[in-house]
Structure formats: C-alpha cells, structure tokens
Amino acid sequence: MRKEVSGWIDKAKPGENVEHYKQVLEYLNNAEKKSDFTRKESQGRLYHVELAPKEDEYLLWDKPLSEQSEKVKAALNGDGIETDQKPASREEIDAAKTKFNNNKTRDNLKEFNRLSGLGREILGRQFYRDLQTQKESNQAASEYLHSLGIRGIKYLDGTSRGKGEGNYNYVVFNDALS
C-alpha cells in the first residue's frame, strides 16, 4: 500500500496537487496496525440514495410494447396508452392530432396516443421517439415516463442488438440531475 501511494505521487501530472497523497503516505508510514486504518467515530453524514430500478421498471428499447413487463404495460395502459391494440385509420389519427394540437390537454393526448396505434408492433424506441415529439423534448418524455413509474430504458448493447439477445445498457431517469 505504501508503495502504491508513493507511485501516485511519482505519476502526478504537472500542476496537480499532491499534498493529499503525501498526507496519505505519511499516515500509512506512521500506522502500526490494521486498526489504525478504520474510522473510529461517526461523522454524522446523511446520504440520499435512490436504489436502482427493478428489472420490470424499464422500458425495453428493442421490444414491442406488447412484450414490455406487466408493470410497464399497466403504467402505460393506466394513462390511456394501449399496448395491445391495432392501429387506427390515418383519418382518425389526423383528427386526434389536430384536436391535441389545438388544445393540449391530457385527455386529448391520451386519445391521440390511443389512436396512433402505439401498440403491438411499435417498439419501445419508436414509442419513446414519438413521445419525444409529442412532449417536444427528451427531458419531458423521460419525466413523463418517470411520473408513470417507468424509471428508465434498457437496451441491447451494440454487439448484442443484431442477435436480439445478450448484454444490456441502461439509462435511468433521474429528476435530481435536471
């Protein structure tokens, strides 16, 4: 350990403050036993921690809405977005869009979503992109989903996407960062 800290000092970049490393090295040199490295008194610090979302709280980017978790489908259905519907006609969608654009109420948005065919064949990414357009920003779309209890997006990484399975990347919606 002493050698590692000494190595940090030797590798310090020009202008970098190495005083902290020197203090750690001095402390390590003066320590006689392992118990010297443990904190003996509480500092009384309080941290706010939001636990990672559960697997069923993510919008699955690469899956149709009909294959989302029951929790995500229930959240979407509860806000008027049908996850297992057939698309409406172009005329019905255009009329609902015009109604929403003329009067941006939550009920008009629900009706537009219902008629837009946000259902079985629409993938999570298509749904999210449509939501970004409707909400007029990425942040607003993410905040909306977070308000429904959908806490993030889960998507296949670049090497797995072509296979349709494998490793995932995660995006967690966090309103504390806005």
Domain with 161, as residue range(s), is: 55-177
Domain-located, residue 16: yes
10 and 90 in a single domain? The answer is no
Whether 107 is in a domain gets the answer yes
In a domain, 126, yes or no: yes
Q: Look at residue 119 in the predicted model and tell me its pLDDT.
A: 41
Helical spans, DSSP H, in the chain = 2-10, 19-30, 70-78, 90-102, 106-115, 124-135, 138-147, 158-161
Digit-by-digit pLDDT tens for the chain (178 residues) are 444 444 555 555 566 666 765 666 666 666 665 555 555 555 656 655 556 788 899 999 988 888 899 999 999 988 888 777 565 677 877 888 888 888 888 888 877 776 765 444 788 888 899 899 988 898 999 999 999 999 999 988 888 777 777 888 888 887 565 4
Residues 21 and 63 in one domain: no
Question: What pLDDT sits at residue 145?
Answer: 93
pLDDT for the residue 5: 45
pLDDT at 1: 44
Q: What is the pLDDT of residue 156?
A: 86
135 and 102 housed in the same domain: yes
* Confidence at residue 129, expressed as pLDDT on a 0 to 100 scale: 92
Same domain, 64 and 28: no
The one-letter code for the residue type at 58 is Y
- Give the count of domains, the chain: 2
> Is 123 within 8 Å of 61 (Cβ atoms)?
yes
Same domain as 113, residue 139: yes
Torsion angle defined by CA atoms of residues 60, 61, 67 and 68, in that order, rounded to the nearest 10 degrees = 30
Q: How many residues does the chain have?
A: 178
Residues 86 and 134 grouped into a single domain: yes
121 lies in some domain: yes
Please state whether the predicted TM-score (pTM) of the whole model is above 0.85: no
Q: Does a structural domain hold residue 48?
A: no
Distances (CA, A) of 111 to 42, 46, 98, 101, 173: 55, 45, 11, 12, 26
Q: Are 25 and 87 part of one and the same domain?
A: no
Q: Is residue 44 part of a domain?
A: no
Distance CA 124, CA 129 (A): 9
- Are 87 and 157 members of one domain? yes
Do 140 and 69 have their domain in common? yes
In-domain check, residue 50: no
Phi, psi of 155 (to 5 degrees): -140, 150
